[in-house]
Each structure stands twice: as structure tokens, then as C-alpha cells.
Structure 1
Amino acid sequence: MRYSAAIPHTLMDPALSRLTRSADKGRLWWVIAAGLATRKGPARRAAMRGLVALAGASVTANLIGKPLLPRRRPAAEVVPEIRRLRKRPTSSSFPSGHAASAAAFVTAAALESPRLGALLAPLGAAVAYSRVHTGVHWPSDIGAGAALGVLVALATRHWWPPHTEARAHTTHPADAPALREGEHVLTVVNPNSGNPADDPTAEIRDLWPRATVIHPEPGADLRTQLTDELRRRAGQVRALGVAGGDGTAAAVASVAADTGLPLALIPAGTLNHFARDLGLRYLADTDAATRAGDAVGIDLGEVEIESDHGTVRRWFVNTASLGGYPEMVRLRETIQRRHPKWPSAVIAMVRTLRRARPLRVRMDGEYLLVWMLFVGNGTYAPKGVIPSRRPALDTGLLDVRYLRADRPYSRVRFLLAVVTNTLGTSHVYTQRDLAALDVAILDGNRRIATDGEVGPLGHRFRFRSRPSALSVYRPGRRSS
């Protein structure tokens, strides 16, 4: 404190005073988070995680730490009068809430974007030091507050694993023709996927002037439309392209799998789970792969739906679900556009489980009562309630998760396990990796949802993994 007080007066004195006041009640970090949230990707995730950590650190420091560890603040006379705050805080000095908030926000942001964390670190350090410079905290208060903030930010990983940009692994190369400027590529563009103002049609036509571009016909089945188009262009199409959300991509992928054509996937939807797992972020990624003829073989999920009117088959690239899961996923993705993924999932689960009706099923010969059933194409991570990514696309397995309804207070126990991140030991939630699954509905017919699209009614559903059923263009390591 004496060393800091002895620093000669400079223009930094009023600057640090303004900085420390701007950080009161976390206002500085809220403003920064608002700016970061305007950008998609790591910046927005950093803002969301930063605010969660900020709230946790503020509560811990101000409502727990200060009352339990009272400490007198430095006397006003310790620092020169020009540095003193007009309104000095009266709460306990230990630990520093400003330092805790700054460290929490910066550390949380760094978990999502190390580069952004490095840019924010000097600002966080300046906020923390400003409390000593203005004479309202001891250096040890700053150290304790900063340590607390870092710990709270790191603790968010327990419930909310940081997003990874690493693409999913596959060891199956695929033969695909090298196609320049979209030649021989029949491309489906859904302008209603993602932001309607960002119709990718013009960009695709500019980059692929030789491609044939079609739009989904309103009210028509896209698979049928695409199959008819292929029949009319027999021998002229060597690859299928698709720009749209996961539902559109799944429809085109199913036709590609049936016809043996490679798929050129263009990320143009809202969430783009399938494209993210493949490591495709932009149209340029897909263009580089098609020009080089780089492709990989990936697994697809298949479900046979048996009803009173016969049996139909559907492919799925991401997930299939029965019971409350379709509604939960729809709600989560709607809420997630404005809020972080983990809180969005909790809100969606609570709303869905309140209205859910249990399913009586026979699952691989075992009679069960379940609230919801989730089947993922491939094994998802993490193994908790939020399956967010696939480390590999060639496992030959399905990720099966279900919530039991035949145990006392199963919904309450499930939500408690979610909050405490103890689903792995829960007796009401089951996760298994299987090559195939047979599910019979014992109380009528239910609709299945595949890749976010509601499918047909059925009373028996046979799921299985189809290894390397689809060839997809993806840049090789050198290209990417």
C-alpha cells in the first residue's frame, strides 16, 4: 500500500478512478458482454459464460465471503487525496468483489476463446489494481478476490463444458470426384433456414456458377422432389449439395445415401450441428473440399417405423427421439438463441417434464415406463444431459439415453442430478452405446422426431447404426 501510495501523480489517477467506478456492480463487464454477444461463435459463448461466472463470483464474494470474513478497509489517509473515491464502500474489505468479478469474467471468457481472454486480461488486472490505487482495498484482498473469481469460472466447466472447435474424427476416407465451380453438383438451398435475411443462394451461385440450384417446394416432400430431379437429370449429377438447417441437410443426406452420391454440405442454418461436427464453418470450406475431391465416410442412423399402414425407413444424421425429447430439443434450441446452452436446457427440461406423458415401451425385450427417449447417431459428448458434440463419426454405435418414469419422484431426481452433474450415478437416467435398438410402444402410436423434424406415427421403431453409409466432402488436413 505504501509503495502504491508513493507513485507520483499522473493522468492515470483520474483514469483509474473512472475505471474502478465503471466496474461497480459489474457494470463494465455487462457492457463488454453485450458487445461480445452481438457476434456469433466464441465471442458470444465467452460473453454468456463470463456473465454466469461473474454472477457466481459476486454472490460468493459479497454474500458469503465478506460477512464471514470481516476486515477493516485501509484508512482514507493512506493514499493521496486526489485518488480517493468520493463515496467509499463500507462493506468488509476481504475479499475484493471487484477483483473477483474481473477475474471470473476474464477467466470464463478465456475458456471459450483464449485470444479474447488474453485481450481482456490487462483490463481485468487494471480493475483489480485500481482498488489498491484508490485506497479501498489491501493487496491481499485483491489476491483473494482474484483467486476466488478464477475458481468460480473454472467451476462452470463442471456443468457447462467449454465448446471445442475440433472437428469429429473419422478414419474412413471416401472416393469422391473433384468438382470445380460446382460442376455436376445438384444443390438444394433452403432460404428459410437460419436468418431469412441471409439467403445464401446468390453467394452459392457466384462461387459455383456451374451448379444446379433448386429450392424446396412449399408443402412438398423434399426427398421426393430431389429424387424426381435426379431422375430427370440421370447421369448428369455426380454430387448433391445442400445449404440449410439440419432438417434440410438430413433430407438431402438420406437421398445421397440411397443413391450413393457424395454430399457437399454448406453450413447455412441456425445451429448447424452436423456441419460443426464435420468441421465445416463456411462455404469456402466446402468449396475447397469439392475442388480437391477430399471426402470421408461417416455413419448414419437408420430407423424403421412400423405402423398399421406398413413400414417406412428414415435416415438421421444427428438424432432421433420419442416422448418428451422432441419437445425438449425444440424448446432448448429456441431458448438457446438468447441464453447459454446449459441454462436453456434446464429451462426446456422443466417445461417439458411438467407436461410430459410417460411411454410404456418394450426396449430390447425389457418392459419400461419412460418419459423420453433419445437416440444419437454416434456417441455424443458429454455423457450428461446436454449431448452437444461428437468426437467421432465412425463409431458404428448409437447413443441411447432415456429417463425412467417407473421410479419414485423420477423427474425431481433427474433435475437434481442435472444441477449437481451426477447423472452418471443416477438411478432414473440411463445412457448406453448400442449398435442397434428395438423399441415397441405398448400404448398406441407415437410420432418420432429425426433431426428436429417431426416424423410419422408408429408403434414399433427399430434403430441401427449404418457404418460409412454416407460420403461427405470435407477438407483434408492440409486443406483445412
Structure 2
Amino acid sequence: MPLPTTPLPASPSGRGVLIVRNALSGASVMRADPSPVFAAELPDATIHELAEGEDLATAVAQAMKSDAPPEVLGVYGGDGSVSRMAHLARRHDRPLLALPGGTFNHFVRALGIDDIDAGLAALAAGTGLRVGVAEVTADGDEPVTVLNVVSVGAYPELIEERERRSTLGKWLGGVAATWTALRRTEPLTIVLDGRRARVWSVFVSVGRNDPERVATMQRQEVDAGVLDVRIHHARGTRVRALASLAFGKRTAAVLRAVHLFPRDADIERLVVRELELLVRPEPGRPSVFVHDGELVECAPEGFRLRCVALPDALTVYAPEP
């Protein structure tokens, strides 16, 4: 059954709309400059391009303190930028306009926004949805809004290694990081509901996800009132640990065919409203987690990760179902 739409302020010209653009998003793909589209379709919008080192929250805070604070908070960027703006939209009680400007754009694709035109059409029509998110807290830090997935283990370590090799570029850095991970990745220890386990990875997806996948990178449900958890227990090789990170159906099918994908018996699946996880990496290994592609470093000895599903927590522009 299609989700009921939520009427939102319609703004065909962009009046009352702030769009923050992260020029660094989607650097690994060729993407047309959106400036001509914004100038032609949204002449009354405020378009702010983040300067190098500028924080998105600071840019939004300054706009909200102005004499004419925006009625709509928009962002052109990848999943990380969109999740940060979603958090600010919730904080300032504003609807979110999310426009795809990253490499994968998992969240906006789940909304049915495959290009800028689809997002701007929803803005012009004033159609939207109330969607679920997850709120994630590491130790005593401030909670963050998560739109797709939070993960610990092999995937965050791979991202951490790739960022260390960022001078090689995203593609070459990824290849080098994968090669290093094949030789060095180690299981970590988690404690969940009093049970201690050695695992390769844990993925906590916002909403129910594809039962055949371990790495649930892309959100599958829009409303999302639960967390779908995949725990890959460390009973296999490093090759299987990295093979589990395949999130494309075709890639996963090939890995299954050649018997490199993790065995079903090694994957524990849970559907819960909330989750508290104690994470203990091996000495000398990265103490990190990833949410929506964003890497977060924690205390070297480990951290406590709390994830809570929040139904209907975010109002976002979206096309009619």
C-alpha cells in the first residue's frame, strides 16, 4: 500500500528555500554542474556552496539567525551530506529537500528521487512524506540521525584504510585498501544483550532490508519503524569477510556461485526497535563505525553504540507514490 503523502509548503520558484551544496560529494563520478538548473528553476532560492573546511551545521545556523530564516532546508550532495541536513531539519523543525549529488544517493533513491528534476517537482507541488530514521549515539556523544545504515567491523575499517590513502584517488585508494584488508582484517568482539561474540561485521539498517544481503547499504523501506540487524560471525576467512560487503545483487550472486559468500549459518538476523552494542576492537585496530558513508572515530579501547528506530521522525519532499 502506498504511503500517505504529507502536504508541504509548495515553492515553484524556491522562495523560502535554502539549498546547501557540497561540491566534494560525488567526486568519484562525472556529474553535471547543477548551478544552471538552480538558477533557472529556483530563482528565489538561496544557494550556499560549502567552502573548504566549512561545516554544514554552521552554514544552516547562520541562515536560521537571519531576518528571513528559511522555511525549507535543502541539500545537494551524497548520503553523508543528506543525513547531516536531515538531522538539522529535525532540530529546526523544517522539511527536508534532498537532491541527489553523490555517488550512490541511497536515501533519495528510496524516496523515488532519481535526479534533481524529480526533487524540484516535489518542491513545486508541495508533496512529501513522513519517514522513519534511526538515532545513533556512541558513548556520551551527541546523537546523530541515520537514514540508511550504521556499521561496525570490516566495512568501517575498509573505509578508514581508504581515507588514509585518499591521495591515490577514490578508486585506486579503494583497491589498495581492499588489498590491505585481505591481509590484515581481524574480527572484533561485541557484547549484545549479555552475549559476547567474535564477529567480522555488524550492519544495522533503517527499516527492513533484503534478507539475502549482509551489507545492507541501501535503504529499502521508506516508512522504516524498525532496525534490521545483520551480524556476520567470525567463523570463516578474511575473503568471506570482505565478500560479505558486496551490496549489489549481481555481485552477491556471483560470489555465492563460486562459494565465497558467507554461509547462512554464519549470519545472525534480528529485527528490533532498539539496539545497544558494546564494541571492542583488537589492540591496535581502528575503533570506528560508519553511518551513511560517514566515518566516526571512537576511543581506542572501544565504545558503546546505541541505535533507536524513530518512526515518522523526518518530513521530506518526495514525488507522489
TM-score > 0.5, shorter chain as reference: yes
The equivalent of 1:317 in structure 2 is 147
- Structure 2 counterpart of 1:320, one-letter code: V
More strand by share: 2
Deviations 1:90-140 (A, max 9, x none): xxxxxxxxxxxxxxxxxxxxxxxxxxxxxxxxxxxxxxxxxxxxxxxxxxx
For residues 120-199 of structure 1, the aligned pairs below 5 Å read 171-194=3-26, 195=29, 198-199=32-33
Deviations 1:280-333 (A, max 9, x none): 122221121111110001111111111xxx42211111121112112446899x
| Contact 1:188 1:241 (C-alpha < 8 Å) held by counterparts | yes
Quick one: which of 174, 184, 188 aligns to 1:355? 184
SS of aligned partner of 1:256: helix
CA distance 1:354–1:430, change in 2 (3 Å): farther
The equivalent of 1:387 in structure 2 is 216
Quick one: which of 445, 453, 471 aligns to 2:294? 453
SS of aligned partner of 1:352: helix
CA distance 1:373–1:349, change in 2 (3 Å): farther
Quick one: which of 286, 309, 316 aligns to 2:119? 286
Across the aligned residues of Structure 1 and Structure 2, the Cα RMSD in angstroms comes to 3.2
Deviations 1:267-291 (A, max 9, x none): 1222211111111122221121111
| Contact 2:157 2:288 (C-alpha < 8 Å) held by counterparts | no
The equivalent of 1:218 in structure 2 is 52
The equivalent of 1:441 in structure 2 is 279
Given the alignment of the two structures, is residue 204 of structure 1 paired with residue 33 of structure 2, yes or no? no
SS of aligned partner of 2:65: helix
- Structure 2 counterpart of 1:468, one-letter code: D
Q: Equivalents in 1 of 2:203, 2:239: separation in Å? A: 19
CA distance 1:323–1:415, change in 2 (3 Å): closer
Q: 1:214 offset after TM fit, Å? A: 0.7
| Contact 1:404 1:410 (C-alpha < 8 Å) held by counterparts | no
* Greater C-alpha radius of gyration: 1
- Structure 1 counterpart of 2:35, one-letter code: T
Quick one: which of 257, 263, 267 aligns to 1:429? 267
Deviations 1:51-107 (A, max 9, x none): xxxxxxxxxxxxxxxxxxxxxxxxxxxxxxxxxxxxxxxxxxxxxxxxxxxxxxxxx
| Contact 1:323 1:372 (C-alpha < 8 Å) held by counterparts | yes
The equivalent of 1:462 in structure 2 is 306
Q: Equivalents in 1 of 2:208, 2:177: separation in Å? A: 22
Q: Equivalents in 2 of 1:433, 1:348: separation in Å? A: 31
The equivalent of 1:81 in structure 2 is none
The equivalent of 1:397 in structure 2 is 226
TM-score normalised by length of structure 1? 0.55
| Contact 2:182 2:239 (C-alpha < 8 Å) held by counterparts | no
Q: 1:192 offset after TM fit, Å? A: 2.3
The equivalent of 1:473 in structure 2 is 317
- Structure 1 counterpart of 2:207, one-letter code: G
CA distance 1:217–1:244, change in 2 (3 Å): same
Quick check: 461-470 or 421-430, which moved more? 421-430
For residues 18-97 of structure 1, the aligned pairs below 5 Å read none
Q: Equivalents in 2 of 1:237, 1:208: separation in Å? A: 14
| Contact 1:381 1:387 (C-alpha < 8 Å) held by counterparts | yes
- Structure 1 counterpart of 2:72, one-letter code: A
Quick check: 391-400 or 258-267, which moved more? 391-400
Q: Equivalents in 2 of 1:175, 1:325: separation in Å? A: 38
The equivalent of 1:93 in structure 2 is none
The equivalent of 2:248 in structure 1 is none
CA distance 1:263–1:348, change in 2 (3 Å): same
Q: Select the structure with the greater relative contact order (CA < 8 A; seq sep ≥ 6).
A: 2
Q: Equivalents in 1 of 2:63, 2:156: separation in Å? A: 31
- Structure 2 counterpart of 1:368, one-letter code: A
| Contact 2:119 2:319 (C-alpha < 8 Å) held by counterparts | yes
Quick one: which of 137, 140, 146 aligns to 1:304? 137
The equivalent of 2:247 in structure 1 is none
Q: 1:196 offset after TM fit, Å? A: 6.8
- Structure 2 counterpart of 1:237, one-letter code: P
| Contact 1:398 1:434 (C-alpha < 8 Å) held by counterparts | yes
Identity of aligned residues (%): 32
Report how many residues are paired: 294
Identify unmatched segments of 5+ residues in structure 2: 245-251
- Structure 2 counterpart of 1:304, one-letter code: T
SS of aligned partner of 1:204: helix
Quick one: which of 345, 348, 373 aligns to 2:202? 373
- Structure 2 counterpart of 1:476, one-letter code: E
SS of aligned partner of 1:198: coil
